[in-house]
Every structure is written in C-alpha cells, then in structure tokens.
C-alpha cells in the first residue's frame, strides 16, 4: 500500500512540475480548424477579441476556433511558439492560420530609442535609421519564417497589418507618462506604417494572403470608441477587424487546407 501511495505522489509531483515549471501539459484538439495566432491584438483586454467575432461571421462552431494570442510576444518569440505548436500537433486537423504579429517589435524599438515618441522615423534627419531598418528586417524575417513553417504543415496562412493609433489623447501604458498625445500618435503611426510595409513584403515573399487592416479599415483610427487604449482595440474595433478577416477568407482564391 505504501508503494502505491508513493507512486501516486510521485506522479502527482511530476504533473505539477510540468504545469508550473518545466513545461505545459496540453492535449491535442482535433476539432480546431482555424488558429488565430499573435500578440495582444489577437487576445487582448477588450470584452471580445476579433477571432470570437470572426467565428460568428463565418458561421463556424465555437470548437473550430483556437485563440493562440499571447500579449507582449515579439515575432521572434512567436515564431518559436508556433514551431512548437506545429511540432506537437496540438491542432492536427487545423487548416488555417490567422497570423498577427510584429507590433511588439516596433513598440520595443520605440521604447529603446525614443520613449517619448518625439521623433518621426520619416524625417530626413531621423538619427536611428540604420537601427530601425535592422529591426524591421529582423521582424520581416521572423514573420516570413512563421508563414513558411505553417505552410509546410499544410496550413493556409492569412497575415494582418496593424491599425494606426487615433490622433487623440488616450491612455497609453507603453509610454513613460501613461498617456499619448495627438502629435505622438501621429509619429507612432509613421512607425506602424513602416512595419506594415514589411508585413506586406513578408506575406508576398512567403505566399500568405494579406489581411490589410491598415488600408481596409482605415476609418478605425478616426473614432476613439474603436479603441480600448492607445494600442488595443475595443470590442467595436475588433468587429471592424473581423470584417476585414472575413473578406480576406471569402476572397482568397486558395481554399483552406491547400498550399497558398
């Protein structure tokens, strides 16, 4: 009896170690068909994220969608997490990846070089041009690698650009003073446009369908009610994004599950 008790305790300890220390216990989910993967734009502070709304728009069952959003994650970190997810076959019957990453990369760059967002990256005398180009190159490379990893697994990939911040006074935790002013928002938007150009290149180079949120939902930034804060959408804003994803899904010439 004592040996059996010891064995149970040992097994319990092993499971607790996996869950809290060395790894994560996850069971494959064969019901999932669509995987929404990204940073806090995919799973954020709003009452409803865009994948929840998109699922309803395309009339999919709740179990067909998995939200793999991870706030604060860079494209490099996301690439490793995506590769692990694919290697472990956590969604063996999934056919579509909805990918949205890279925003944290540009945000971290701003924090390091221009925390007050006092400079415009499009200015002729911008002092960090070389460093910015290197950062954008790295982000683009990681996005392309993520697309290729998913396509090699047989998934169709949709890649989103980022929305621009409204040029208004809004709470903004990433900034030093926790609030963003219209002038700062305009300069932050210039950084995001540069990032979006790299996302477009990555989608084209690696064979993904582009979900151009910046261009297709340009009115987002015109209304502060679309925003939870300076860098996250509200449920209303996420509804607009879900509409752009739906249009991309319905307009793609490639059927889910086929190589792009």
* Band of residue 252 on the pLDDT scale cut at 50, 70, 90: low
pLDDT in tens, 52-102: 999 999 999 999 999 999 999 999 999 999 999 999 999 999 999 999 999
* Band of residue 24 on the pLDDT scale cut at 50, 70, 90: low
User: Is the pLDDT score of 260 beyond 90?
Assistant: no
**Over the chain, what is the mean pLDDT?**
88
- Supply the DSSP string of 44-59, one letter for each residue: -SSSS-HHHHHHHHTT
pLDDT for res 168: 76
Unique residue bearing structure tokens 């300890």: 13
The domains of the chain are located at 25-251
Q: What percent of the chain has pLDDT over 90?
A: 76
Q: Is the dihedral of CA 50, 93, 253, 150 positive or negative?
A: positive
User: Is the pLDDT score of 5 beyond 80?
Assistant: no
pLDDT in tens, 125-165: 999 999 999 999 999 999 999 999 999 999 999 999 999 99
67, 94, 103, 160, 237 from 60: Cα distances, Å: 14, 13, 28, 20, 21
Measure the CA–CA gap between 87 and 90, rounded to whole angstroms: 8
Measure the CA–CA gap between 39 and 102, rounded to whole angstroms: 8
User: Is the pLDDT score of 177 beyond 70?
Assistant: no
Cβ neighbours of residue 179 closer than 8 Å, sequence gap 6 or more: 169, 170, 171, 172
User: Is the pLDDT score of 12 beyond 90?
Assistant: no
pLDDT for res 179: 66
* Band of residue 251 on the pLDDT scale cut at 50, 70, 90: confident
pLDDT in tens, 183-203: 988 999 999 999 999 999 999
pTM, to two decimals: 0.86
pLDDT in tens, 103-117: 999 999 999 999 999
| 134 phi, psi to nearest 5 deg | -65, -40
User: Is the pLDDT score of 27 beyond 60?
Assistant: yes
Measure the CA–CA gap between 3 and 13, rounded to whole angstroms: 15
* Band of residue 258 on the pLDDT scale cut at 50, 70, 90: very low
pLDDT for res 13: 43
69's enclosing H/E stretch is strand 65-69
Domain 25-251 of CATH type 3.40.50.1110: yes
């Amino acid at each position: 009896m004592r040996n059996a008790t010891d064995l149970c305790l040992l097994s319990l300890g092993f499971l607790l170690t996996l869950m809290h220390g060395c790894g994560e216990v996850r069971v494959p989910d064969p019901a999932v068909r669509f995987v929404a993967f990204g940073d806090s734009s995919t799973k954020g502070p709003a009452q409803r994220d865009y994948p929840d709304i998109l699922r309803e728009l395309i009339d999919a069952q709740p179990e067909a969608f998995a939200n793999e959003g991870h706030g604060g994650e860079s494209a490099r970190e996301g690439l490793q997490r995506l590769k692990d997810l694919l290697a472990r076959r956590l969604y063996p019957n999934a056919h579509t990846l909805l990918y949205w990453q890279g925003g944290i990369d540009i945000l971290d760059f701003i924090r390091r070089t221009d925390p007050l967002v006092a400079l415009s990256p499009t200015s002729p005398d911008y002092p960090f041009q070389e460093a910015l180009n290197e950062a954008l190159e790295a982000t683009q490379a990681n996005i392309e690698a993520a697309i290729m990893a998913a396509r090699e697994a047989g998934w169709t990939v949709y890649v989103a650009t980022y929305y621009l911040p409204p040029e208004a006074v809004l709470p903004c935790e990433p900034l030093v003073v926790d609030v963003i002013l219209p002038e700062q928002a305009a300069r932050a938007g210039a950084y995001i446009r540069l990032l979006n150009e790299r996302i477009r290149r990555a989608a084209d180079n690696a064979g993904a369908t582009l979900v151009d949120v910046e261009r297709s939902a340009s009115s987002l930034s015109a209304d502060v009610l679309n925003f939870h804060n300076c860098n996250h959408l509200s449920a209303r804003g996420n509804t607009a994004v879900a509409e752009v994803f739906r249009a991309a899904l319905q307009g793609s010439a490639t059927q889910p599950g086929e190589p792009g």
